[in-house]
Amino acid sequence: MWQDCSNARNGGLPGGCLALNTLWHVRADASYCVTRDQPATQNMIALRTIRGRGSVTLNTSETFEVSQETLLIVENDLIRQYRQEAGSWHFWWFEFRVSGPLFFPLRQIMNVPAKSDELELLKHLFSTLRKEAPAQRSLASAGLAYLLHIWIAAVQEQQQASPHQAKVMHTIETMYALTDGSYRVAEMAQQAGLSDRRFRQVFETITGQTPKHFYDGIRLEFARQLLLASPDKIETIAERLGFSSPFHFSRSFRKCFGAPPSHIRNGRN
């Protein structure tokens, strides 16, 4: 695993807007796993994944899978663990502070295709933050603000420009209606009038997740509600939601929420 860091401790927010404190550039291997035992600073984290796949688990029991060319922005003090999941996880990690209204969504996977000059911008930002002069650190903060605006604008443009937005929304509505796991991706694609491969691309562009991962998330959230509100056995809930076995259900539930179903049922998480 290789990583490098640029660090600046700014006393104030330049222009009353955004201050970049720390920037990590990481190429993580299979051994990479960071678990936090102590509360972190109350800043924001922007996680820009270049290649590979990782996961970020929050102390709210949410887990986000971050893959190539995605962006995730989340409160730093909510992060409980982040780890490599597949391939060499290559990412940039920004820790920053913001004053005033937020101009970006929190706790949402955003699919952002890389532009040709993005890597050069990131490298320039990295080297600028290393300099001691306050003006240079302010320039680094302005650079991050610029990148964030570019990334968010790209997400909004994709969502507005996609001619398949209504089809994807209809698919999601059907997912909520068929929580028994019977809704296959091939059927989703057929109803949307797209090939299987094209449907997967369209769905991930609009939602930031694959159809299967999105559907599983709906079913697992429904399972969590049933565990909290119904007397049904865990085995019964697993069967109702179409999981092949209680073991498969438990494994998927733990991966999503960071704890097994029994902990939720017993009020331990």
- Give 197-218 pLDDT, tens digit per residue: 999 988 887 777 789 988 988 8
Which one, of 151, 147, 215, 158, lies nearest residue 181 by Cα? 215
Question: How far is it, in rounded angstroms, from Cα 136 to Cα 3?
Answer: 22
Whether residues 170 and 137 share a domain: the answer is no
Whether residues 124 and 181 share a domain: the answer is no
pLDDT, position 84: 94
CATH number at residue 38: 2.60.120.280
Whether residues 135 and 13 share a domain: the answer is yes
Whether residues 14 and 128 share a domain: the answer is yes
29's tokens: 């291997």
CA separation (Å) from 118 to 100, 109, 157, 251? 27, 19, 18, 37
pLDDT, position 221: 84
Q: Which of 160, 193, 217 is the last residue of a domain?
A: 160
Whether residues 182 and 261 share a domain: the answer is yes
Question: How far is it, in rounded angstroms, from Cα 193 to Cα 23?
Answer: 43
234's tokens: 């865990």
Q: Which of 160, 180, 201 is the last residue of a domain?
A: 160
pTM: 0.60
Question: How many structural domains does the chain have?
Answer: 2
207's tokens: 């939602």
CATH number at residue 182: 1.10.10.60
Question: How far is it, in rounded angstroms, from Cα 186 to Cα 173?
Answer: 16
Residue stretches of the chain with pLDDT short of 50: 8-16, 268-269
Domain with 244, as residue range(s), is: 165-265
pLDDT, position 14: 39
Q: Where are the alpha helices (DSSP H) in the chain?
A: 118-129, 134-161, 165-177, 185-192, 196-207, 211-229, 234-240, 246-257, 261-265
Is the CB of residue 260 less than 8 Å from the CB of residue 254? yes
Whether residues 154 and 176 share a domain: the answer is no
Secondary structure (3-state) at 231: coil
Task: Give the CB-side neighbour count of residue 223, counting CA atoms within 13 A.
Answer: 33
Whether residues 173 and 148 share a domain: the answer is no
